Amino acid sequence: MQARGERVVRFWKSAVIALGLLLYIGTAAAETLVEIRDRIDRAVITRDLDALEEAAKQLEKSGADLSAYYLAYTQFRLGTLIGATDKKRAKKHLNRCIDILKPIVKAKPDDAEVVGLQSTCYGSSTAYYMLRAAVRGSNANKFMKQALEIDGENPRVLMLDGISLYARPKALGGNKDKALERFTAAAESFADWSLPTADAPAWGEAENWMYLGRTYLALEQPDKAREHYAKALELEPDFALAREELDALP
């Protein structure tokens, strides 16, 4: 009887340890996604392509709900950061972003973050197409309109719409004054924004201030440009692009 009792005790001890391990793994997975998100954000600020590639590899293995969004986001950032230095590779990353997001947009058509990112991936990819640029531009406009209808106060959606208005040629609907309005609205929204969940997207605020600086410069207001670049660097002292553009001001 004593041996049987000892076996029962050992069994329950093992069960408790196993349950604790499962709970720990579940918590670690959630924490890991937050850590990966923060590493992606840091890599974007410092233009660390290797860190973005490494984060993408980790996200490929993750089963968390937001992993696919962040994987698409890394592809978007890789595509835009690589840009003209390797057009073939940039195009590949942007198309990967679009492909990852397609089933998510279909499953979550009311998620402004997802739909807004899909719009931007389409818009960014138009630079690498001639015959299909108009179709991709139309898709970008469609998804951005949808994102704004879902949540017109989401700061990242407002910022992404501003980037589109800033970057597009005037003949295709580009408008620096309207872009400035969007970036200003995004700055106000970022100031009041709180994460709905711990692992929700948190990127964009410093970048939005940089775009405000860039837009003021395009509108020939260098003093305001300098002020807004400085605000971006106040939020992110290691923000490489904001530092370069500020230092380039006369």
The predicted-structure confidence for 192-238, as pLDDT tens digits, reads as follows 999 999 999 999 999 999 999 999 999 999 999 999 999 999 999 99
How far is the C-alpha of 91 from the C-alpha of 97, rounded, in Å?
10
Identify the weakest region by mean pLDDT among 28-32, 163-167, 216-220. 28-32
Give the residue, 74 or 132, on which the prediction is more confident.
74
Among the listed residues 58, 8, 18, the one whose alpha carbon sits nearest the alpha carbon of residue 35: 58
pTM of the predicted model, to two decimals? 0.84
The predicted-structure confidence for 81-112, as pLDDT tens digits, reads as follows 998 899 999 999 999 999 999 999 999 999 99
The predicted-structure confidence for 33-90, as pLDDT tens digits, reads as follows 899 999 999 999 999 999 999 999 999 887 667 899 999 999 999 999 998 899 999 9
Mean pLDDT, to the nearest integer, of 11-39?
Answer: 52
Mean pLDDT of all residues in the chain?
87
How far is the C-alpha of 61 from the C-alpha of 63, rounded, in Å?
7
Q: Is residue 22 scored above 60 in pLDDT?
A: no
Share of the chain above pLDDT 90, in %: 74
- What per-residue confidence (pLDDT) applies to 134? 85
- Tokens for 206? 């410093």
- What per-residue confidence (pLDDT) applies to 170? 85
Q: C-alpha angle 231/233/237, rounded to 5°?
A: 150
* Cα atoms in the Cβ-side hemisphere of radius 13 Å centred on 51: 15
Mean pLDDT, to the nearest integer, of 122-148?
Answer: 91
Confidence of residue 173 (pLDDT cuts 50, 70, 90): confident
Mean pLDDT, to the nearest integer, of 159-181?
Answer: 92
Burial of 32 (0-12, 13-18, 19+ CB in 10 A): middle
Q: Is residue 188 scored above 50 in pLDDT?
A: yes
- What per-residue confidence (pLDDT) applies to 27? 35
Among the listed residues 71, 61, 32, the one whose alpha carbon sits nearest the alpha carbon of residue 199: 32
- What per-residue confidence (pLDDT) applies to 133? 82
